[in-house]
Each structure stands twice: as C-alpha cells, then as structure tokens.
C-alpha cells in the first residue's frame, strides 16, 4: 500500500501553523527540528542566520495512515523560492458529522470560508475554506449506505 502525505512550505510561520493544526487535530508532533539542530551534525551545511530558529521539518500524525508535514523555506536553503500553494486543497473525510463540523470550525477559524459546511446535492456533508495560513481545505462526511 502506498501512503500519500501532505508537505507544506511556509514563509517563516511554520511553527505557528503547525501549533494551530495540532490544536485542532490533537496528538503530538512525531518530528520537530529547527535548522539550528543540524548545525551540530558533521558535514551538514549551515543555514542562514535568519533561518536558524525556523522549522526545518515537522510532522503531525492526523490519522493512523496520514501525516501533515512542513517546513519553513526562504529559497536559499532548498534552492527554490517560497511559494504559497493555491493549486491544491487538503481533503479530509471524517467518520461522523460532528467530527466534520469540529474540523471545519477549528481549521477555518481566522480563515476565509468559500463554502459553508452543509448537506450537498451529491449526498455529502461538505465545506471548503482557506485557513489563516493560506492553505485550502475541504471537509467531508458521507453517511454509509445500509443495504
């Protein structure tokens, strides 16, 4: 089985974003490293001074199979400039309507709602928003059909 995880890049506010995501999803960070941590490793390149206290890598399990991951980037470290991704959405499916509402309300706090969470014509309880960090989300719940 292949697992796909989401890796988000931030422009210096990765710690703030991931502490926010942790407050909504719960759990603990599996990994949390700052750029300064790698200076101690032999043969590791030294990050720019402005990046030393920024996040090099963070991972937060959000289910048994899925993890949100991220880092700060300024273009010098990874060889590419910071780009705010707006050509994708993180899509979440929940086991119940209450969990869908909790995630929608928590993650959209301070963001911009583009479609309030509601029952839809295609049979899902669904909503969309951009969180306060510029990340697009879709939250869904679909009642299991009984036969």
14 and 64 co-located in one domain:
yes
Stretches where the chain sits below pLDDT 50 are 77, 79, 146-147
What's 131's domain CATH number? 3.30.720.110
Which residues partner with 89 through β-bridges?
Answer: none
What's 27's domain CATH number? 3.30.720.100
Structurally, how many domains does the chain consist of? 2
Q: Are strands 55-61 and 125-130 parallel, antiparallel or unpaired?
A: unpaired
60 and 15 co-located in one domain:
yes
| Residue-level pLDDT at 40 | 65
pTM value is 0.80
67 and 108 co-located in one domain:
no
pLDDT tens, residue by residue, 70-96: 988 765 545 455 555 556 789 999 999
Do residues 140 and 124 touch, judged by C-beta distance below 8 A? yes
Report how far residue 85's alpha carbon sits from residue 89's, in angstroms, rounded to the nearest whole number. 9
Residue range of the domain that includes 107 = 90-141
């Amino acid at each position: 089985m292949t697992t796909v995880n989401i890796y988000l890049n931030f422009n210096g506010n990765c710690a703030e974003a991931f502490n926010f995501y942790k407050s909504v999803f719960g759990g603990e960070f599996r990994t949390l490293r700052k750029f300064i941590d790698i200076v101690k490793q032999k043969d590791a390149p030294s990050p720019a001074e402005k990046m030393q206290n920024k996040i090099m890598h963070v991972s937060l399990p959000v289910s048994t199979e899925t993890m949100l991951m991220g880092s700060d980037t300024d273009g010098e470290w990874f060889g590419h400039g910071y780009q705010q991704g707006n050509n994708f959405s993180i899509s979440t499916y929940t086991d119940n309507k209450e969990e869908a509402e909790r995630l929608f309300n928590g993650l959209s706090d301070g963001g911009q709602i583009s479609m309030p969470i509601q029952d839809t014509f295609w049979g899902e309880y669904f909503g969309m928003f951009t969180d306060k960090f510029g990340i697009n989300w879709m939250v869904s719940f679909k009642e299991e059909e009984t036969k």
